[in-house]
Structure 1
């Protein structure tokens, strides 16, 4: 039979106080109700827990054994209450964030710094993975915030638009594309080695869909599981790639990469925030969501989505 925790509390309080009257004062209950509760508890367990004497009560051998477990139970209860209290505030606790690789590397760091400055007592944990993996972490309740590069169609999750990101064709400075002074015909990509992210990556899906609409089928592709690695390979002269402009700007500024304008093709993608309907957000998650609720890029409305 499962232990009745209310009756366990009555018994433990009486045993520690040494009398029913003192326990009544501690628990703000009447002495008769406590006496009845302890008696009912003894009947349920089938043993005497307290020895009643004119000088008060003392726990029996069985009562002492039960008290040791009661201490552990109520310690766990207090720990749970303290943790929940922390989660309901922004003074302490933790926030687990999952983000697709590009978002984690190029979009989130400034937000993390701003959040820490406002709420230094919150421990931040950032997991970087592809879109599919972030969705699985969200479903498993292993993260509170999920930001991904492509919409997710999973039962138990919804995708909400977060912001707009522009994708750019990049090439090394010695590549033929980089020497062209005008926008290139995007169909020329079909004759190049196209460096792409691994299956499951949101950016890969966006690039593949954009090229498929124009019936561009690259003759050769190379899969690399990191945008940083893709940039280095392209800078070294092996093929071309289409990546986020936010990811490319550092190497473009250094002259190691060039962004190549494509005639009639602008690739815009929506970055997404994952939500689990019915799940109660902790205050830290709500505060972080407010922080990242920046307006969509101003140039998005003037571009043609592909």
Structure 2
């Protein structure tokens, strides 16, 4: 059975060519099939659309009116199909990424540059937030993917670890004598500690690990950004818990020193989060491939 859209495609082709036989040739149909399609459309609309003449066909007034709308609609469908192909071929589109400031600065920037060089017509929308905030935004459709601190316990999300990180404690010049030898975590918590805010995924990971050892943390300062942790430690306000891989600028230049622990905190990962129920867009798929093949 021919559907309504096919009938309108036949109708528009006949209207343009003013001939059933020409339309049939262009549509790779038989002339009787074209005639049958027009008759079916006229029957459904209860309106005569063409005037048959020995030289071909011409539109009736009703047919002329219908052609304006039908032809515009079909043209719009073709434009839509072309846009879909552009998205699939990555010659157009937008990639929406949720990421925190620290991960963006110390991890993501080179991959954004690599993707832009490879797919210059794809625009970026970057949304900042904590891991908890980004997961909420991801679930609401505000971003295609989120780059977050793992682990995350959420059965609705697909998690792809990309980069291993280590949580360490760092200190400034004032604490060098006190911290000249390895410490246990139970000894460390007796010193003034500087941690991220309690809702931070990084803070939760470290705090939960220490609680599993029977050690409760009571920080002197709770800050909202990784960069502030480093700066507070640099001016000797306490010992800061930071991500080692994101603190190398301070550690390698001697601005801060790493506390030598008797037992290191287990490593974790930064990874890509996406919704299990929603397939990744072509742009997001390619970006994840770049991250995974780094």
Q: TM-score range by the shorter chain?
A: 0.7 to 0.9
**Whole-Å separation in 2 of the counterparts to 1:132 and 1:23:** 59
**Whole-Å separation in 2 of the counterparts to 1:65 and 1:152:** 58
Deviation (angstroms), 1:267: 3.7
**Whole-Å separation in 2 of the counterparts to 1:156 and 1:47:** 53
The residue matched to 2:227 in structure 1 has which SS?
helix
Give the conservation status (yes or no) of the 8 Å contact 1:150–1:205: no
Deviation (angstroms), 1:284: 4.0
Give the conservation status (yes or no) of the 8 Å contact 1:150–1:270: yes
**Whole-Å separation in 1 of the counterparts to 2:51 and 2:228:** 74
Q: Which residue of 2 aligns with 1:218?
A: 217
**Whole-Å separation in 2 of the counterparts to 1:278 and 1:219:** 40
Q: Which residue of 2 aligns with 1:248?
A: 247
The residue matched to 1:107 in structure 2 has which SS?
helix
The residue matched to 2:99 in structure 1 has which SS?
strand
Q: Which residue of 2 aligns with 1:302?
A: none
Q: Aligned in 2, Cα 1:221/1:79: closer, same or farther, shift over 3 Å?
A: farther
Matched, 1:12 2:12: yes
Q: Which runs of 5 or more structure 1 residues have no equivalent in the other structure?
A: 296-306
TM-score (norm 1): 0.79
Give the conservation status (yes or no) of the 8 Å contact 2:206–2:265: no
The residue matched to 2:51 in structure 1 has which SS?
strand
**Whole-Å separation in 1 of the counterparts to 2:224 and 2:75:** 46
Q: Aligned in 2, Cα 1:65/1:221: closer, same or farther, shift over 3 Å?
A: farther
Matched, 1:51 2:83: no
Q: Which residue of 2 aligns with 1:303?
A: none
The residue matched to 2:181 in structure 1 has which SS?
coil
Q: Which residue of 1 aligns with 2:184?
A: 185
Q: Aligned in 2, Cα 1:253/1:72: closer, same or farther, shift over 3 Å?
A: farther
Give the conservation status (yes or no) of the 8 Å contact 2:250–2:256: yes
Matched, 1:37 2:37: yes
**Whole-Å separation in 2 of the counterparts to 1:263 and 1:121:** 51
Superposed CA offset, 1:271-300 (max 9, x none): 3333444654455444433332258xxxxx
Matches within 5 A, 1:188-267: 188-197=188-197, 199=199, 201-220=200-219, 222-267=221-266
TM-score (norm 2): 0.82
Deviation (angstroms), 1:156: 3.3
Give the conservation status (yes or no) of the 8 Å contact 1:197–1:203: no
Q: Aligned in 2, Cα 1:175/1:212: closer, same or farther, shift over 3 Å?
A: farther
Q: Which residue of 2 aligns with 1:300?
A: none
What is the RMSD computed on CA atoms of the aligned residues? Answer: 3.1
The residue matched to 1:215 in structure 2 has which SS?
coil
Q: Which residue of 1 aligns with 2:88?
A: 88
Superposed CA offset, 1:36-66 (max 9, x none): 1122112222333333344433333433333
Give the conservation status (yes or no) of the 8 Å contact 1:168–1:267: no
Q: Which residue of 1 aligns with 2:26?
A: 26
Matched, 1:115 2:104: no
**Whole-Å separation in 2 of the counterparts to 1:146 and 1:206:** 18
> Could you tell which deviates more after superposition, 104-113 or 63-72?
63-72
Deviation (angstroms), 1:117: 3.5
**Whole-Å separation in 1 of the counterparts to 2:46 and 2:176:** 87
Q: Which residue of 2 aligns with 1:76?
A: 76
The residue matched to 1:108 in structure 2 has which SS?
helix
Q: Aligned in 2, Cα 1:58/1:292: closer, same or farther, shift over 3 Å?
A: same
Q: Which residue of 2 aligns with 1:298?
A: none
**Whole-Å separation in 2 of the counterparts to 1:97 and 1:149:** 14
Q: Which residue of 1 aligns with 2:63?
A: 63
**Whole-Å separation in 1 of the counterparts to 2:118 and 2:152:** 31
Give the conservation status (yes or no) of the 8 Å contact 1:161–1:270: yes
